[in-house]
Amino acid sequence: MTIIDLTHTVTNRMPVFPGDRVPRLSEYRDRRREIVHYRIEASMHTGTHIDGPLHMIPNGRKLSEIDISRFVANGHLIDARGSTALDISLLDGHTIAPGDCVLLYAGWHEKFRTPDFYADYPCITEELAHALVERKIAFIGIDTPSPDVAPYNIHRILLQKEILIIECMNNLSRLLGAKEFEVIALPPKFCSDSAPVRVLAKIQK
């Protein structure tokens, strides 16, 4: 079995969505007790994170209210490199069952620490979003900052049906050629709309 980390490391110097605060990760050394503490102040949408229903849906559920089984799913990697729009044609040749997850690999993670990361990223079309709703997937993951731009209709289409959204994924290229894999995307059990998430893919050899 191979385990692949699909998560960006959180640091003080990491990029954040325009308008968000840069995370403050600080070290505190208690020399009397010879221990080290770290503290963090950051948006729940820092780095690799998962959006829950409350993020865009009034009275939507918080992540802490979502059943734990929804964060583990059989995965489908879709190679979307070179696409200016992520449309329904990307599903051609993929048999996706209810409860599976879809990972869209746009090659965007390579721009993560550059000024271009938050500019002109490819967005999901409404047709593709509705197709994913029809397939009743558990969650979708992308290596771009967001599946859409304001007014965030794609967020609302997916989150209205409690299809969770993982943004800013990393290392999706390492899943190319994997026939079957499982994705584990466990956020801390914060009582919040969204949260940072450590995402792993398990490939059975």
pLDDT digits (tens, 9 = 90+) for 158-201: 999 999 999 999 999 999 999 899 999 999 999 999 999 999 99
The confidence score (pLDDT) of residue 204 equals 82
Residue 17 counted as domain residue = no
**Domain contains 133:** yes
pLDDT reading at 31 higher than 80:
no
Residue 164: the pLDDT is 98
Nearest to 74 by CA among 58, 97, 56: 97
CA gap 165, 24 in Å, rounded: 24
**Which amino acid, 107?**
G
Residue of 205, 203, 133, 196 whose CA lies nearest to 172: 203
Is residue 49 a contact partner of residue 166, using CB atoms and an 8 Å limit? yes
pLDDT in tens, 118-132: 999 999 999 999 999
Let me know if residue 70 belongs to a domain: yes
pLDDT grade, residue 12 (50/70/90)? confident
User: Does 18 reside within a domain?
Assistant: no
Task: Answer whether residue 144 is part of any domain.
Answer: yes
Q: Indicate which CATH number applies to the domain containing 172.
A: 3.50.30.50
DSSP character for 18?
Answer: T
The residue written with tokens 């191979």 in the block is: 2
Tokens representing residue 198 in the block? 């450590």
The answer to whether position 19 is within a domain reads no
**pLDDT, position 197:** 98
Please give the sequence-ordered ranges of beta strands (E in DSSP) within 7-151, or none if there are none: 24-30, 35-41, 49-51, 72-79, 85-86, 101-105, 123-124, 139-142
Structural domains in the chain (count): 1
Q: Is residue 24 part of a domain?
A: no
Which runs of E-coded beta strand occur in the chain? 2-5, 24-30, 35-41, 49-51, 72-79, 85-86, 101-105, 123-124, 139-142, 164-167, 181-186, 194-196, 198-203
Global model pTM greater than 0.85: yes
Largest CA distance in the chain: 62
CA distance 54 to 52: 6
Q: Which domain holds residue 57?
A: 2-7+44-203
